[in-house]
Structure 1
């Protein structure tokens, strides 16, 4: 009986996930025939079927697509942050921590060595958490703060466009806005947050 009711709940859950049109979920009492005759033990059999055929419109309007889009966005933006953090360590690209600290000192940033390491750690840790969807909202707050500081210090008086000389704050503003959207929407179904909490 437990198995049958869990199958029914599971079937209904997948019906909600995989379909968008009118559905019917049929429940019927199941009788077992054995050596002792007919036994009606109250097990409920469940069958799920669509009342309308699946078409392209139904496929494109599935309830899973927003969660899938959040997964793709989180992965790409999170990996982007991790790559920038690793670049500050000299693991990716041509930069390194020494050059980043020197650049911050040129800008007049106090405690440039500490600030550089904070920026690097926030990008690696925040980007990793964002990509995994684990403690995603706090990670977004951390990344938004990092991008605000980067835009205000690193792109001061450079305007908006990244094609300006020196480059404007376009990239940092856009990353902060994307993280703000993730902050509002949450991690989605395909995340560690959804799995654990």
Structure 2
């Protein structure tokens, strides 16, 4: 019944990549990145929930890079699966932090939802309209 939609899969992936990537650059990662060491430290302290309590500034900086540079790579469809994997890991840490803080489900749900999107991205690849496809002829 909906088989005609399969020819639009690559266009749909492009629009999804643009929306999600821009969100990560401007709403999440970018704010963390320009927040500087104080913001990185507070973000990096989330690693304590996983038993990693050393160098919170480093871990916070890595989360900011994962989200901002990862968002750009998602948009471009370049090193797409590694970028989706890094963001998935970052979302896992965010979800565990919110859960351990006793935050309401509404706050825990967002990183879980974004993690699920990263799993879908990893599964489908970047699509035909991506740099991965241009350089390696694979999505």
Q: Return the TM-score normalized by structure 1.
A: 0.58
Instruction: Determine the C-alpha separation between the residues in 1 that align with 2:77 and 2:46.
Output: 36
The structure richer in helix per residue is 2
Offset at 1:153? 2.1
Q: How many residues align?
A: 130
Which digits, 9 at most, give the CA deviation of each residue in 1:34-76, with x for residues without a partner? xxxxxxxxxxxxxxxxxxxxxxx99x92543111111011111
Bigger Cα Rg: 1
Flag structure 1 segments of 5+ consecutive residues without an equivalent: 1-56, 91-95, 163-167
Offset at 1:142? 0.8
The structure richer in strand per residue is 1
Cross-structure match for 1:72: 15
Judged with a 3 Å threshold, the aligned counterparts in structure 2 of structure 1 residues 105 and 176 are, in CA distance, closer, same or farther, namely closer
Report which structure shows greater RCO (CA 8 Å, sep ≥6).
2
Moved more, 80-89 or 105-114: 105-114
Q: 1:134 pairs with 58, 73, 78, which one?
A: 78
- Give the 3-state SS of the residue equivalent to 2:100 in structure 1: coil
Query: For the Cα contact (< 8 Å) 2:91–2:114, is it kept in 1?
Result: yes
Aligned alpha-carbon RMSD (Å):
2.6
